[in-house]
């Protein structure tokens, strides 16, 4: 009878230890998957940010000097479900943008490198690089308001936009 009770107690202890071990393994794997998902989301946001800043350079909306060494925050939880950049209250600046330009062997094009760094590390040298984008683009040396006039449009008039009556 005592041997039977001892065997039952041993079975319960083994089952409990297996349950605790399985729970620990599941908890550790869930934690590591959550961290990997967070890193993946950060890299995706950083690469989107790099592409949008490269497009702004290519369109002439910003210069490399204006974008270089700037801190940017992205609010992913805005009311209209769109990401908003810069000047967001209560959202700390998270990403540092660095822009490097160098002339390319193709005369009108410039080799532009945009790096997105994680600014949460504190010091500028310790920041983790999340995204790098290299592209050959034609940099617009003039200000965005200075466009060449098109002789074809001389004397043309602009009609006001008509509403759709709604």
Q: Do 52 and 84 touch, CB atoms closer than 8 A? A: no
Q: Which of 2-6, 26-30, 62-66 has the lowest mean pLDDT?
A: 2-6
Q: Is there a domain that residue 77 lies in?
A: yes
Q: Over the chain, what HEC string results?
A: CHHHHHHHHHHHHHHHHHHHHHHHHHHHHHHHHHHHHHHHHHHHHHHHHHHHHHHHHHHCCCCHHHHCCEEECEECCCCCCCCEECCCCCCCCCEEEEEEEEECCCCCCEEEEEEEEEHHHCCHHHCEEEEEEEEEECCCCCCCCCCCCCHHHCCCCCCCCCCCCC
Q: Is there a domain that residue 156 lies in?
A: no
Burial string for 53-67 (b: 16+ CB within 10 Å, else e) reads bbeebeebebbbeeb
Does 150 have pLDDT greater than 90? no
Structural domain including 100 reads 2-142
Q: Is there a domain that residue 150 lies in?
A: no
Question: Which pLDDT tens digit goes with each residue over 126-139?
Answer: 678 889 999 999 88
Total domains in the fold of the chain: 1
pLDDT of residue 88: 47
Q: Is there a domain that residue 88 lies in?
A: yes
Q: How far apart are the C-alpha atoms of 114 and 93, rounded to whole Å?
A: 17
* Mean pLDDT, the chain, whole residue set: 79
Q: Which of 17-26, 47-56, 80-89, 104-113 has the lowest mean pLDDT?
A: 80-89
pLDDT of residue 87: 46
Q: Is there a domain that residue 16 lies in?
A: yes
Q: Is there a domain that residue 65 lies in?
A: yes
Residue with more model confidence, 108 or 165? 108
Question: Which pLDDT tens digit goes with each residue over 32-82?
Answer: 999 999 889 889 988 998 999 999 888 888 888 888 888 887 766 555 545
Mean pLDDT across the stretch 105-132? Answer: 82
pLDDT of residue 69: 85
Q: Is there a domain that residue 154 lies in?
A: no
Q: Is there a domain that residue 163 lies in?
A: no
């Amino acid at each position: 009878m005592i041997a039977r009770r001892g065997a039952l107690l041993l079975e319960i202890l083994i089952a409990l230890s297996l349950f605790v071990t399985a729970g620990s393994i599941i908890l550790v794997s869930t934690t590591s998957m959550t961290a990997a998902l967070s890193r993946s989301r950060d890299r995706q946001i950083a690469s989107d940010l790099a592409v949008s800043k490269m497009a702004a350079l290519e369109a002439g909306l910003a210069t490399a000097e204006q974008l270089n060494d700037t801190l940017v925050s992205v609010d992913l939880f805005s009311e209209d479900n769109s990401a908003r950049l810069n000047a967001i209250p209560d959202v700390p600046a998270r990403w540092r943008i660095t822009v490097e330009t160098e002339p390319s062997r193709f005369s009108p094009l410039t080799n532009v490198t945009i790096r997105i760094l994680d600014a949460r590390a504190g010091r500028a040298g310790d920041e983790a690089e999340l995204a790098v984008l290299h592209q050959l683009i034609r940099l617009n040396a003039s200000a965005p308001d200075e466009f060449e006039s098109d002789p074809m449009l001389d004397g043309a008039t602009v009609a006001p936009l008509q509403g759709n009556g709604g």
